[in-house]
Structure 1
Amino acid sequence: MSAEKTVAAPAEAKAAATGSPLLEVSGLTKHFPVMGGFPFRRQIGAVQAVDDVTFSVAAGESLGLVGESGCGKSTTGRLITRLYEPTAGSIKYLGQDIAHASRKELAPIRSEIQMIFQDPYSSLNPRHTVGTIISGPMEINNINPPQGREARVKELLEIVGLNPEHYNRFPHEFSGGQRQRIGVARALALNPKLIVADEPVSALDVSIQAQVVNLLQELQRELGIAFVFIAHDLSIVRHFSQRVAVMYLGKVVEIADRDSLYGAPRHPYTHALLSAAPDADPDNVSVERIRLTGDVPSPLNPPSGCRFRTRCWKAQDKCATEEPPLIQLSGSAEGHLTACHFPEDGAKAAALVPAAREAEKTDTAEADQA
């Protein structure tokens, strides 16, 4: 894999030279129109899937996106890869805004931004062999490796831990974990600088999840690839990501480096998510479990002001009239941004969160082993 290490260097060098992130998302918005009416159809509303999302990803960094189902994580990932057309906002890749770029303008960038899809069963064409699936991106982009496409595919199969002899097999001959490895190999085929991983392990067994996550971590270290890692499993996100953004109903409500967010959460929603994580220690009976009442509001008609206020135990009148800005609060670590009028005491919240405490134990054990 030493030859692969040089592939990421141009992106890292360019980002370092300009002092800008590899990926910079600002005010990203996606509203899906809702049509109705008879006899003439017209737009009667809009699903506000993603609304004014802002974050950045440095070269070689991993940013985790977490939140409940339907909060806009996957839509954000598809916007970054331009599988969806943004309603508003900018997506700057190495300083170039690709949010509304034409198909021709996107062509040279497509190979540098790839995606790993959530379902390893539906994301692979059952009529194609593994060789055809992985070499497909090379054929579409007219890329001919010096050693030939077949040799490159077999090399990629080895990189993701599969046998090169699997080249002529079909997807139905593989397990779920093996299929996801094929999806990873396909994403690596064009030597990307950024991979959007959309819940890449949620459909897999726990033991297989660990194998795939460890594989992605190894690839990140070896090849210098940046990741936007979308998941709802907080323990996996903490294990894989250097920074974490928490989304609720299309908005980023908190973003910080991993240790700061898990060690001192400031937003009530983040606190509730972390408190819901199972604790491996059965003796911890004093853990406060925060149970959110009600359902997530409809993105067709989100609440005014703070979108989380309808389920928040700290909500006051101000929360209904003023939308809280995403800012660094007093007492927060550098770069720890929170959108809340009445934030949690980070130290107190961390003391009540089993996930943070368990993560501390894991990190300590790993450090001792090292």
Structure 2
Amino acid sequence: MSAKTLTEPADAAPTSGETLLEVNGLTKHFPVMGGFPFKRQVGAVQAVDGVTFDVHKGESLGLVGESGCGKSTTGRLLTRLLEPTGGTVKYLGQDITHASRKEIAPIRSEIQMIFQDPYSSLNPRHTVGTIISGPMEINNINPAGGRANRVKELLEIVGLNPEHFNRFPHEFSGGQRQRIGVARALALNPKLIIADEPVSALDVSIQAQVVNLLQGLQRELGIAFVFIAHDLSIVRHFSQRVAVMYLGKIVEIADRDALYTRPRHPYTHALLSAAPDADPDNNSIERIRLTGDVPSPLNPPSGCRFRTRCWKAQEKCATEEPPLLQIGGNDAGHLTACHFPEDGDAAAKRAAAAVPAARTTED
């Protein structure tokens, strides 16, 4: 095995600049029922609340944040596995926010998803061939040479033996199962893939194999990715732009290098400082230990949702919600939702020592 770390970000895949996906004010509230016999809504879990971003053709956008911030729910809203409560989702200019099954059918094949758990996302009663050919059968796609040959081609593309066509999921390891999930997502030649923490359930020794497989496919096929993860080193390696979520909202979004070297939002600083360091004796990293727990999405704080844990919070933070805006003119496209953002130069000095170290290898 030749070791390849994730320390240095890979070169960005070329993008056309054309907007593929436009998300504006996307919201998802899950009702909470109470009373007797539980037919009255007494509240709502504000899982996603006013998320706005876009994805360009061939681009990879990372979506990061701690558990429960709404990352996975956002991914399922983009693929219309969940019905949005509010906001809009446009794909190539077409509004698909509340499109019917018939209306969304023509573009369903162009937006695919890779699920987090490679064990539960594959039907244990179906063979690999049936799992990968299923999307083609549902969409009445008959590739040249037949579906069986196409499945074998896909297995080879993702690094599996085409002869495993008739095997069942339980005969494969976790990494191999995730590769099967990748092959299934590629079966319909998508333009956009939502990867929901595709390596978090895998052993660290094979995480880089799957990440670099996805990156290679993005380069060769020009597929756009929304890469959902909480591992900052993997996101930095894979994504060209990164959006940071906290309690259902995006608090910062920027180019990869700008966000990791000049973070402006205090929460982004805290995330970067919490990344594990390979040197236990390294005292140069400023560790930011947030106090308190993440507030409940049933009753989020007024104003800035991060204010209850922020060391820079003032009275204004409790009364006014900070808009997601560009601060200063140095970093175009670097948007921050904070009334008192970090100074860019000072942030760069502190962040330089806090860049996450690689911890995985590739064969």
What CA RMSD, in Å, does the superposition of the two structures yield over aligned residues?
1.6
> For the residues of structure 2 that align with 1:39 and 1:345, how far apart are their CA atoms?
53
Q: Which residue of 2 aligns with 1:252?
A: 250
Q: CA deviation at 1:282?
A: 4.0
Residues 157/314 of structure 1: CA separation in 2 closer, same or farther (3 Å cut): same
Q: CA deviation at 1:111?
A: 0.3
Of residues 289, 299, 315, the one that matches 1:291 is 289
> For the residues of structure 1 that align with 2:203 and 2:124, how far apart are their CA atoms?
22
Q: Which residue of 2 aligns with 1:115?
A: 113
Q: CA deviation at 1:245?
A: 0.2
Residues 357/72 of structure 1: CA separation in 2 closer, same or farther (3 Å cut): closer
> For the residues of structure 2 that align with 1:339 and 1:212, how far apart are their CA atoms?
33
Q: Which residue of 1 aligns with 2:227?
A: 229
**Aligned residue type for 2:154:** L
> For the residues of structure 2 that align with 1:191 and 1:151, how far apart are their CA atoms?
15
Q: CA deviation at 1:279?
A: 1.9
Mean alpha-carbon deviation: is it higher for 276-285 or for 237-246?
276-285
What SS does the corresponding residue of 2:133 show, helix, strand or coil? helix
**Aligned residue type for 1:235:** S
Of residues 290, 303, 306, the one that matches 1:305 is 303
Q: Which residue of 2 aligns with 1:267?
A: 265
Q: CA deviation at 1:345?
A: 1.5
Q: Which residue of 2 aligns with 1:173?
A: 171
> For the residues of structure 2 that align with 1:143 and 1:334, how far apart are their CA atoms?
42
Q: Which residue of 2 aligns with 1:278?
A: 276
Assess if the C-alpha contact under 8 Å between 1:124 and 1:171 holds in 2. yes
2:207 maps to 1:209: yes
Residues 139/314 of structure 1: CA separation in 2 closer, same or farther (3 Å cut): same
> For the residues of structure 1 that align with 2:127 and 2:148, how far apart are their CA atoms?
12
Assess if the C-alpha contact under 8 Å between 1:279 and 1:354 holds in 2. no
Q: Which residue of 2 aligns with 1:344?
A: 342
Residues 83/101 of structure 1: CA separation in 2 closer, same or farther (3 Å cut): same
Assess if the C-alpha contact under 8 Å between 2:292 and 2:309 holds in 1. yes
Q: CA deviation at 1:287?
A: 1.5
Q: Which residue of 2 aligns with 1:32?
A: 30
Residues 306/110 of structure 1: CA separation in 2 closer, same or farther (3 Å cut): same
Q: Which residue of 2 aligns with 1:151?
A: 149
Residues 180/289 of structure 1: CA separation in 2 closer, same or farther (3 Å cut): same
Aligned residues: 345
Residues 280/346 of structure 1: CA separation in 2 closer, same or farther (3 Å cut): farther
TM-score (norm 1): 0.90
Q: CA deviation at 1:205?
A: 1.0
Of residues 93, 96, 103, the one that matches 2:94 is 96
> For the residues of structure 1 that align with 2:353 and 2:157, how far apart are their CA atoms?
32
Q: Report runs of 4+ in structure 1 exceeding 6 Å deviation.
A: none
Higher relative contact order (CA closer than 8 Å, sequence separation 6+) = 2
What SS does the corresponding residue of 1:280 show, helix, strand or coil? coil
Assess if the C-alpha contact under 8 Å between 1:30 and 1:50 holds in 2. yes
What SS does the corresponding residue of 1:104 show, helix, strand or coil? helix
Residues 355/79 of structure 1: CA separation in 2 closer, same or farther (3 Å cut): farther
> For the residues of structure 1 that align with 2:70 and 2:241, how far apart are their CA atoms?
18
**Aligned residue type for 1:288:** E
Q: Which residue of 2 aligns with 1:65?
A: 63
* Unaligned 5+ runs, structure 2: 1-14
* Unaligned 5+ runs, structure 1: 1-14, 363-370
